[in-house]
Amino acid sequence: MIGDEVSAEFQFSVERFLYLEAAVLDDRRFRDWLDLLAEDLRYYVPTRYVRGEGGVSEEFGGPDDVALFDDNKRSLEQRIRRLESGSAWSEQPPSRVRHVVTNVLILGVEAEEVEVSSVVQVHKSRLDHSPELWVGRRIDCIRRSSSPARWLLVRRTVELDHTVLAAPNISFFF
């Protein structure tokens, strides 16, 4: 499918969903974000390793390795409840976050699901600390839905470009 033509309308629909999701997260509308997630969601951010000359295929941890995040919709709901409770010290006061989503490429279409790759940059600043910039590639699976957004996020794998995380915490969503 890579490189195959999709209609401009279809491409726009997929991009619009990703941009809507970014805006919802940037506005801290976490309950609305949950509405964009499928019940069978997997949200996965593997650890990236420096493996010498072993090749790109060995850069990311596998299913038995520790991941930065390996969440489902229920665990994300718990994280959001904690953010809303005021007991998440890393978000008191809340961070200012901006997502930039670009290089959206549809990798495959199968029935009602679409595999899509995008590049994401997340800028985070809080208080008067130095801002953080996170960069990576997201590989998402989205499913057609009757929801107003027309899509639901089913799977997200975030391949961060970072091997060393200098930030004190990751209290936002990619």
- Give tens-digit pLDDT for 31-69: 999 999 999 999 999 988 876 665 666 788 777 788 889
Indicate the pTM of the whole model. Answer: 0.88
Task: Tell me how far apart the 2 most distant CA atoms of the chain are, in Å.
Answer: 48
pLDDT value of position 90: 74
- DSSP sequence for 65-123: S-EEEEE-HHHHHHHHHHHHHT--GGGSSPPEEEEEEEEEEEEEEETTEEEEEEEEEEE
Would the pLDDT of 131 be above 90? no
Q: Taking phi first (over 0 means left), then psi (-120 to 50 degrees means alpha), and beta for anything else, what does residue 52 get? A: left
* CA dist., res. 143 & res. 91, Å (int): 31
Would the pLDDT of 159 be above 80? yes
**120 or 172, which is more confident?**
120
CA-atom Rg of the chain in angstroms:
16
For the chain, domains (ranges, CATH) are 8-160 (3.10.450.50)
Q: What's the average model confidence in pLDDT over 80-86?
A: 85
* CA dist., res. 114 & res. 93, Å (int): 37
* CA dist., res. 170 & res. 114, Å (int): 28
**Residue 145 DSSP code:** -
Place 162 in a pLDDT band, splitting at 50, 70 and 90: confident
Percent of all residues in the chain with a pLDDT value above 90, rounded to a whole number: 59
* CA dist., res. 116 & res. 152, Å (int): 13
pLDDT value of position 91: 67
Place 168 in a pLDDT band, splitting at 50, 70 and 90: low
pLDDT value of position 48: 85
